[in-house]
Structure 1
Amino acid sequence: MTSPTGRRLRIGIGGMSIESSQFCPHRATYDDFRVTRKSALLDRYTWTRPDDGLTERVEWVPLVHAVSLPGGPVERATYDRIKTELTGLIRESGPLDGLVYDIHGAMSVVGLVDAEADLTEAVRAATGPDTLISAAMDLHGNVSRRFAEPLDLLTAHRLAPHEDAWETRERAARKLVERLVSGRGRPHRAWVQVPVLLPGEKTSTRLEPAASLYGRLASVEALDGVVDAAVWVGYAWADEERCRAAVVVTADDPELAVDRARSLAQEYWDVRRDFVFVGPTGDADECIARAVGSTARPFLISDSGDNPTAGGVGDLAYMLGRLLAHEELASGRVTALHPGITDPPAVAACFAAGVGAEVTLRVGGQVSAGTGPHAEPYELTGTVTALEGAAVPGSGAPRGNPAYDDGGRTAAVTRGGVTVVLTERRKPFHTRADFGTLDPREFDLVVVKIGYLEPELHEMAADWLLALTPGGVDQDLLRLGHHKVARPLYPFDDEGFEDPDLTPVLL
């Protein structure tokens, strides 16, 4: 089966993806992005392979895709460089029937408002009006009308944690091909924003009400005349008018699209006060005390305010200081592993000293110092207990989460019962492989810079707590200082907040 004209469809693939906290002092540069082109870009997806039925109908045209670990806003020169390459390749590729647009939705760029809208307008100008564009997005993205208008199809993850991230991209591709093969042209998109802005740790689909809300999407999509249904919770750590929840229902039947979008938006509004944190919470000292006093091992604690996979810097030593302030941990009677403080000079000092050497370091604050008392370096004297990375002869340790950068070299330093892992580059610790030769299951406590636990950590944890720590992705939104979001907006406004007009707009 091919296009209505009998030829194979020409569909481009490209995009730019990062989650950017505007409360984070980090700035993303070109070196922070993993840029993929040509055959390597096709290899990124399973549905572009020769044995996939889609490829019989489609000539895939790889453009460029750039993805970065979340962080602060993108430097303008970096954004312009990637945008120029993407739009230039679109123009050079010749006429495209479609474009699979692989983005995040929560990118901020220095000097721009609504960066994804700016990029999407440029992409649409490059493709021309006849190309159908299908966007695959993170549910933590923002969907302004300006952004959605140039798109023909847009969908988002339906699970948080995002165990369906690759499934979402495949859905965007297959829906696009189906649309082009059918010859039905552009569908209607019913778009509505909901004046609610919550952190991801309060909207996990592991719990109600998000489980039921997102669970409805497949049944809406299955209705005759509906193409897709998606709900975005928005991105809580940016400060722009677009930051809020949104619903888009895509359909051939405009009345049905409006009706289902209104229903989903109303449900979101009605349950706004029912969203709760995905796990028990407390401040740093409360969580440490409860973990030390528990018999559950390993006991995991999320250092949520400095989570690099939500947009935190990952260089705060705040939790390290709180761990060593606890007598049981400082004495070594209880052990803790705290991975992921980014500090290249400290790593270099550890490599120079060698395993077994005693070192005195000022840990953390390489980027964040000066942004508050929680961001100051911590003076640590301890023993180098592990070195890993390319510069270690014979090191066969796993090199990190393949979704992000490998973190470069890492160094473990132990003081009392606390072992801290220092990294050269910003790095998440989501899987067993990310820990290298250190086995987190051998420690009483594991304190990770993360929000809700990713699947492998969730399975590993005998128990866990979400520590409401300070940082660029502080869970307490009211203390961050938003002042550009459109008001009224829950939870910034609650009492006396009249029910909003949730009538969808047909795009």
Structure 2
Amino acid sequence: MPQPRTAIARPVIAIAGLGIESSTFSPARTGAAAFHPQRGPEVLSRYPFLAPGRPLADAADWRGALVGKALPGGMVTADAFAELSAELLDRLRATPHLDGVWFDIHGAMTVEGIDDAEAVLLARVREVVGPDVLVSTSMDLHGNVSRELAHLSDLITCYRMAPHEDHMETKERAARNLVHLLTTGAPRPVKAWVPVPVLLAGEQTSTRIEPGRGVYAAVEEVEAMDGVIDAAIWVGYAWADEPRNRAAVVVTGTSRDAVTAGAERLARGFWRARRDFAFVAPTGSLDACIDEALASTARPYFISDTGDNPTAGGAGDVTWGLRHVLARPEFQRPDGPAVIYASLPAPQAVAAALEAGVGATVTVTGGAAVDDRHAGPLTMTGVVHAVKRGDRDAVTEVVLRVGSVRVILTELRKPYHHEQDFTDLALDPRAADLVIVKIGYLEPELFAMAADWKLALTPGGVDQDLVRLGHRRIRRPMFPFDPDMADPDLTARVIAPADQPMTGADE
């Protein structure tokens, strides 16, 4: 029987975590600087609900340790993980009398030579803070939950929407539930974990449409059950190859029977829906998508160049898609259909355009410096249309007008998710005929702007054709890699509290 704890009127809670999606199918590597780590009081500025005067801010003494979030990319280098985790742990050691830790992560970080990096990091956090400190873990639903990570966390939750319009709401829930446990002296929660042998891309599991909408609607129903604190379904991260990569369910609460029943209900619902998940938009080859866009009267027409999506872990500098666009005869005349292409990291091309200045005609070469498996560097001649310096991700951006295509070139990778990303570069996406973006499902602003859109199935480190990528280390059988596999055991595994030894294997 769980034992009550001493209630703490105003607990001291540290905030720590490292977050990234890391594609093991991309040749890119991610260094420490890419995480843009924040420390001390600046960590609190990440979370509007911890602003001074907000109820949750006043309910605890919040201490920022270190939080770093990187743009999705390639595997994190061993040196970067060692550097960042060492500083994170040192900062926790320097924070006396901790009652709780909010572990704010993504859940899909792969580190050179380390499996299940988040569980490894949390185990080290536990060594520093001790077994009595309560930990609440918040994650992306495209993260991975091993049994070890669930065991080391007292509370664990993830987003319920894809796209992640509830990302801040989820973080607030994780923090609020932790404060509640500490201030009421409630026993450590019971956790029920169910690994589900399904691994699908986010573009196939969006909650905008069925069956994802219905599968995730059941999460709130389970959370509302007596004896349940929180419920969560993780889709998992499809573009990494580790034994933990798969879907998972965790339900947390005060009642063993309730969390077990809730977890099994959610797991069965996800498994039953596995064959019904489909891409969130019509798909096709890039050329087929362009043909359909040109034949349509819908404007602007968006096309997702999905295989090199930097917000899923692509290197961002695959030239295959842009090469196909510029080769189309329709776009080789300045008076052709107005096209915006976002984007291609090409630092030397950006430097040459900067030197030449707006209005100059330049010939530049770029791309394929990281991922040259599908096409080599691309040479373009065009007019410099716009220049912007100081972007957090891109650093410097240049727009090059090549025929009727406005090509956005960047010093470093950048995702283009907002209308302002384009208008800041003297581009009007609403007036364009086609907007081709390296992305998967359209983020909310783009989705609202698009009169129509399609997903182009293009090559890259986050190829949507998962079976052809070549996973070797995931646990088999796994759907869709083994489409005719037998129904799995979806019995909930009740996880021991973090202050007790873990029993059973991560199966």
State yes or no: 1:352 paired with 2:345: no
Residue 132 of structure 2 corresponds to: 130
| Cα contact 2:7–2:184 (8 A) shared by 1 | no
Residue 343 of structure 1 corresponds to: 346
Residue 429 of structure 1 corresponds to: 416
Report the Cα distance in structure 1 between the residues aligned to 2:56 and 2:385, rounded to whole angstroms: 51
Report the Cα distance in structure 2 between the residues aligned to 1:267 and 1:352, rounded to whole angstroms: 58
Paired residues in the alignment total: 488
| Cα contact 2:346–2:365 (8 A) shared by 1 | no
| Cα contact 1:365–1:375 (8 A) shared by 2 | yes
Deviation at 1:316, TM superposition (A): 1.4
Of residues 309, 324, 327 in structure 2, which corresponds to 1:325?
A: 327
| Cα contact 1:142–1:245 (8 A) shared by 2 | yes
Residue 427 of structure 2 corresponds to: 438
Report the Cα distance in structure 1 between the residues aligned to 2:436 and 2:183, rounded to whole angstroms: 50
Residue 505 of structure 2 corresponds to: none
Of residues 229, 249, 274 in structure 2, which corresponds to 1:247?
A: 249
Deviation at 1:30, TM superposition (A): 1.4
Q: Which moved more, 1:201-210 or 1:92-101?
A: 92-101
Residue 71 of structure 1 corresponds to: 73
Report the Cα distance in structure 2 between the residues aligned to 1:255 and 1:186, rounded to whole angstroms: 16
Of residues 286, 302, 306 in structure 2, which corresponds to 1:304?
A: 306
Residue 19 of structure 1 corresponds to: 21
Residue 81 of structure 1 corresponds to: 83
Of residues 384, 405, 418 in structure 1, which corresponds to 2:405?
A: 418
Residue 205 of structure 1 corresponds to: 207
Q: SS where residue 163 of structure 1 aligns? A: coil
Residue 362 of structure 1 corresponds to: 365
Deviation at 1:150, TM superposition (A): 0.7
Of residues 482, 488, 506 in structure 2, which corresponds to 1:500?
A: 488
The Cα offsets for residues 15-54 of structure 1, whole Å up to 9 and x where unpaired, read as 1011100011111001211111122111211232231222
| Cα contact 2:137–2:156 (8 A) shared by 1 | yes
Deviation at 1:57, TM superposition (A): 2.8
Amino acid at match of 1:504: A
Q: Which moved more, 1:12-21 or 1:431-440?
A: 431-440
Quick one: structure 1 residues 56 and 335, their matched pair in 2 at CA, closer, same or farther if it must change by over 3 Å?
closer
Of residues 57, 60, 68 in structure 1, which corresponds to 2:59?
A: 57
Residue 394 of structure 1 corresponds to: none
Of residues 34, 37, 40 in structure 2, which corresponds to 1:35?
A: 37
Percent of counterpart pairs with the same letter? Answer: 50
Q: SS where residue 240 of structure 2 aligns? A: coil
Report the Cα distance in structure 2 between the residues aligned to 1:378 and 1:152, rounded to whole angstroms: 51
Amino acid at match of 2:394: G
Amino acid at match of 1:441: R
| Cα contact 2:205–2:278 (8 A) shared by 1 | yes
Report the Cα distance in structure 1 between the residues aligned to 2:367 and 2:107, rounded to whole angstroms: 29
Report the Cα distance in structure 2 between the residues aligned to 1:50 and 1:439, rounded to whole angstroms: 38
Of residues 479, 483, 491 in structure 2, which corresponds to 1:490?
A: 479
1:64-463 correspondence to structure 2 within 5 Å: 64-331=66-333, 332-369=335-372, 372=373, 374-390=374-390, 399=391, 405-435=392-422, 436=424, 437-463=426-452
Deviation at 1:5, TM superposition (A): 5.0
Report the Cα distance in structure 1 between the residues aligned to 2:242 and 2:121, rounded to whole angstroms: 16
Q: SS where residue 307 of structure 2 aligns? A: helix
Report the Cα distance in structure 1 between the residues aligned to 2:345 and 2:414, rounded to whole angstroms: 8
The Cα offsets for residues 188-233 of structure 1, whole Å up to 9 and x where unpaired, read as 1000100000000000000111101111111211111101000000
| Cα contact 1:156–1:168 (8 A) shared by 2 | yes
| Cα contact 1:341–1:423 (8 A) shared by 2 | yes
| Cα contact 1:95–1:127 (8 A) shared by 2 | no
Q: SS where residue 73 of structure 2 aligns? A: coil
Report the Cα distance in structure 2 between the residues aligned to 1:314 and 1:377, rounded to whole angstroms: 13
Q: Which runs of 5+ in 1 are unaligned?
A: 391-398, 400-404
Report the Cα distance in structure 2 between the residues aligned to 1:296 and 1:330, rounded to whole angstroms: 22
The Cα offsets for residues 158-193 of structure 1, whole Å up to 9 and x where unpaired, read as 000000001110000001111112211210100010
The Cα offsets for residues 416-462 of structure 1, whole Å up to 9 and x where unpaired, read as 11110100111010001112222212211000010000000001101
Report the Cα distance in structure 2 between the residues aligned to 1:364 and 1:270, rounded to whole angstroms: 42
Deviation at 1:6, TM superposition (A): 5.5
Deviation at 1:12, TM superposition (A): 0.7
Deviation at 1:363, TM superposition (A): 2.5
Amino acid at match of 2:274: R
| Cα contact 1:225–1:253 (8 A) shared by 2 | yes
Deviation at 1:277, TM superposition (A): 0.1
Deviation at 1:490, TM superposition (A): 0.3
| Cα contact 2:8–2:184 (8 A) shared by 1 | no
Amino acid at match of 1:134: S
Deviation at 1:328, TM superposition (A): 1.4
Q: Which runs of 5+ in 2 are unaligned?
A: 496-507
State yes or no: 1:477 paired with 2:479: no
Normalised to the residue count of structure 1, the TM-score between the two structures is: 0.94
Normalised to the residue count of structure 2, the TM-score between the two structures is: 0.94
Deviation at 1:149, TM superposition (A): 1.1
Amino acid at match of 2:494: L
Amino acid at match of 2:384: V
